[in-house]
Every structure is written in C-alpha cells, then in structure tokens.
Amino acid sequence: NAGVTQTPKFRVLKTGQSMTLLCAQDMNHEYMYWYRQDPGMGLRLIHYSVGEGTTAKGEVPDGYNVSRLKKQNFLLGLESAAPSQTSVYFCASSYPSGTNSPLHFGNGTRLTVT
Amino acid sequence: LAKTTQPISMDSYEGQEVNITCSHNNIATNDYITWYQQFPSQGPRFIIQGYKTKVTNEVASLFIPADRKSSTLSLPRVSLSDTAVYYCLVGDGRSYNTDKLIFGTGTRLQVFP
C-alpha cells in the first residue's frame, strides 16, 4: 500500500522559475490538502480540495495554485518561485466521514529557492 | 478560531510516562480531538483520536475531561524512538472550516537514555 506519494522528494529552483509538485493517493480519499512546514514551525495549510474538480484556499495561499483534475491527484503549482517559498511541502488526504477522519500524510517535498 | 495550545517542548527519560496536554477552549460540539506524531524528515502520522472520556490503543491513551476544553495524550513507558513532535488537532471531519485544519507548533518531546 503506497498511501500518499509525493514527487519529487527534493528540488532546487531559482527565483522566478516555476514548478509543479504532485501528490497521489491510492486510498480513494475525497479530501486532499497541501501544507508547508518551515524550520521549527508547525504545518500551515496552503490549499485544500473536498473533491474532484474543487479547490479552496487555506491559511497561506498566496503564490500558489492547485488543481484536482482527478480524484487521486492533487497538484501544487508555483508560478514564479520566491526565496520565501523555501520550505518542506506536505500533502495529505482523508475521508469526509461523519466522524473526524484522520489525515494521511506523504513524506514531503523539500524545496529550496535560491 | 478553533485554536489549540500546547507546551513547546518536554523532556523525559526512557521508561517514564509522558503526558502532553492540549488546550482547546473553543471546541465545538461536533469536534473530535486527534493527535499526530512527526519524526524528522517525515510527514505527521495519526496516533489517536477521541471525543470524550478516555480512549486507549496500542500506542497511547487520550484523556478528555467532561468540558472537553482540553485533552491529554499519555505515552506509557517512553523509549528513545518516541522522540518526536506531537500535534493536537481539533475538527469535525467535514473540513469546510479551515480553522480546524490548522496545526499549531506542536510539542517537541525529547527522550533521554
């Protein structure tokens, strides 16, 4: 069972470059999320999706775009990378159930913007 | 805002019981309390979840008082491998309110030999 898979694991960008981070889950989860984590800090929600074709802003959405064209995939895009976007990015997914469904996380993408 | 407050860090020794408390004064009726564990270079992973009173699994226990304004994660007889950051999250699973998807800075637990 793969769970939540993030690609790539590492990436170095120059300021102004663009890239897309891919998140794939094989658990048939409806909800998917993108978080960023900076050194010594907790996770901050960037964007999330409650189903295929839907996205919504989280706590820190500026500078990022997302797409959920397929239920199993959630893409995070950086159109023009900035040094402030140097971080570790985590994707998560969950069921939308009547009880609180735990989040299942990937192992992250470490992004450095120079 | 559905905000949680935890101690920034805690130290313990192997074999001791560790209790980490999370304050969530604005918890709503439908909210559950979920704890996650995060090791360096990994994503958080689910430990335990509860709504009221006490929940126990093979890893930990979760104690929730009647007013549900706080909760305590209890790790029995910790080992070096329990050194990690522990997060408390309060939410109802429908995730329409992003306040309930916000992790705090967590509690950094350091276990010494």
**pLDDT tens digit sequence for B91-108:** 765 555 555 567 777 999
Cβ-defined contact of B101 to A45 (cutoff 8 Å): yes
Interface check A1 vs B, CB under 8 A: no
Cβ-Cβ contacts under 8 Å, B93 against chain A: 94-101
Cβ-defined contact of B98 to A59 (cutoff 8 Å): yes
For the record, the structure tokens of B6 come out as 């935890």
Interface check A54 vs B, CB under 8 A: no
Reference A70, options A56, A81, A54; nearest CA is A54
Interface check A38 vs B, CB under 8 A: no
Reference A106, options A33, A4, A8; nearest CA is A4
pLDDT in tens, A10-63: 999 999 999 999 999 999 998 899 999 998 778 899 999 989 999 999 889 999
User: Can you spell out the DSSP letters for A70-111?
Assistant: STTEEEEEESS--GGG-EEEEEEEE---SS-PPPEE---EEE
Query: Contact A50/A30 with Cβ under 8 angstroms?
Result: yes
Cβ-defined contact of B43 to A33 (cutoff 8 Å): no
Cβ-defined contact of A42 to B87 (cutoff 8 Å): yes
Interface check A39 vs B, CB under 8 A: no
For the record, the structure tokens of A104 come out as 């299942």
Cβ-defined contact of B98 to A45 (cutoff 8 Å): yes
Interface check A19 vs B, CB under 8 A: no
Q: What is the pLDDT of residue B98?
A: 53
Q: What is the pLDDT of residue B1?
A: 46
Q: What is the pLDDT of residue B37?
A: 96
